[in-house]
Amino acid sequence: MNPGFVFLLIFVGAPVVELYFMIQVGAQIGAFSTVMLVLFTAALGGVLVRLQGFATAMRVRESMGRGEIPAVEMMEGAVLLVAGLSLLLPGFITDALGFICLIPAVRRNMVLWFLQRSSMIRPAAPPTQPHSRPDPRIIDAEYRREDDSRE
């Protein structure tokens, strides 16, 4: 698909569709109610994005504390950023997409799907040898027997 067509579709088509739906909703519930509904969804979305952003930041911090790379959590943070931006834009379709991105299970599945499709993560290969811990009773050391050295 031509990138120019995609940008045209996003920057021209999306606002036209949003405007159409806002006019339709405004015809049903009134202009003032429509504006108040758009402002309410923007405020509610901002609060929810902030709360979930803090929760995601805490998970990143915990992962780094365990010595793990928080790749999935960082990608979830990026999805939260997109969700916040779409909730701040006036319109009902972008609000619906933003609220869908705020559902943690949906967001995690979107991130994992993207990472698998982009070949950034692959299923782990089965281990060749079982990971076993050394016996705690075994002490690795050098020794010399005193009775052998007297002969």
Under 8 Å between Cβ of 23 and 35: no
Q: What is the mean pLDDT of residues 85-105?
A: 92
Q: What is the pLDDT of residue 129?
A: 56
Average pLDDT over residues 45-67: 91
| Range name among 12-26, 33-47, 122-136 with the lowest pLDDT average | 122-136
The CA-atom distances, in angstroms, between 52 and each of 39, 103, 143 are 20, 10, 59
pLDDT tens digits, one per residue of 26-52: 999 999 999 999 999 999 999 999 999
- pLDDT (mean) for 46-65: 92
The CA distance from 91 to 14, in Å, is: 10
Is residue 82 a contact partner of residue 101, using CB atoms and an 8 Å limit? yes
Task: Give Cβ neighbours of residue 62 (< 8 Å, ≥ 6 apart).
Answer: none
* Statement: the pTM of the whole predicted model exceeds 0.75: no
Mean pLDDT of the chain: 85
Name the residue ranges covered by the structural domains of the chain: 15-122
Q: How confident is the model at residue 19 (pLDDT cuts 50, 70, 90)?
A: very high
Q: Are 78 and 84 in contact (CB under 8 A)?
A: no
Which pLDDT belongs to residue 145? 76
pLDDT of residue 18: 93
